[in-house]
Amino acid sequence: MSWLLFGAAAWLFIAGLWGIVTSAHLVRSVVSLSVVQSATYLVLLGVGYRSGGKAPIVADIATRSKLVDPTVQVLVLTDVVIEATVMALLLALVIQAQRRFGSVDPGDLRILHD
């Protein structure tokens, strides 16, 4: 079952893309984008995992024990927090789009003619 994690990541990536393509509301596209991003977290954490490894914190275990890789956890950790602010920026753009074009349907957005 070791392929399940990477298969799940690929499935979530494509499902999120499908959500973006078939959305009739810009906010729905933004939420599906966050699903796409979380697929990358799964891949990163899956790469760094070691069978039988423990969390990379040696405050209470022996320093010589088998640990999972801490490098990929650093990447995912900062990514999770930054994703929220980038989503906020996208949603601010959605509010601006509604003010300019009057609708939040992606099909109704046109180039401004003035």
Partner 1 sequence: MSTRARLLVFGLGGVALAAVLALGLGGLPAFGHYHGVYGRRVAQIELGARHATDYVTALNFDLRAFDTLGEEFILFGSVTGVALLLRALREDARHELARTLEEHSFAGASEALRLTALLLIPMLTTLGIYLALHGALTPGGGFQAGVVLAAGPMVILLAGRYLALKQIAPDWILEAADSAGAAAYTLVGLGGLIFSAVFFRNFLGLGTPGQLLSAGMMPVNSAAVAIEVCGAFLLTWTEFLDQSLLVRR
Partner 2 sequence: MTVLQTVMLVLVILSGTAVALISEPLHQVLVLAIYGFALTLLFFCLQAPDVALSELVVSGVGLPLIILATLRKLAERRDREDA
Contacting residues toward partner 2, per CB under 8 A: 1-2, 4-5, 8, 11-12, 15-16, 18-19, 23-25, 27-28, 30-32, 34-35, 38, 41-42, 45-46, 49, 53-57, 68, 73, 76-77, 80-81, 83-84, 87-88, 91, 94-95, 98-99, 102, 104
Site string for partner 1, 22-41 (x = CB under 8 A): x-------------------
CB 100 within 8 A of CB 108: no
Residues 6+ apart with CB under 8 A from 60: none
Q: How far apart are the first and last CA of the chain?
A: 58
Asked if residue 105 binds partner 1 (CB under 8 A), the reply is no
Sign of CA dihedral 63, 64, 66, 72: positive
In the block, tokens 């914190």 appear at: 57
**Cβ nearer to partner 2, comparing 53 with 108:** 53
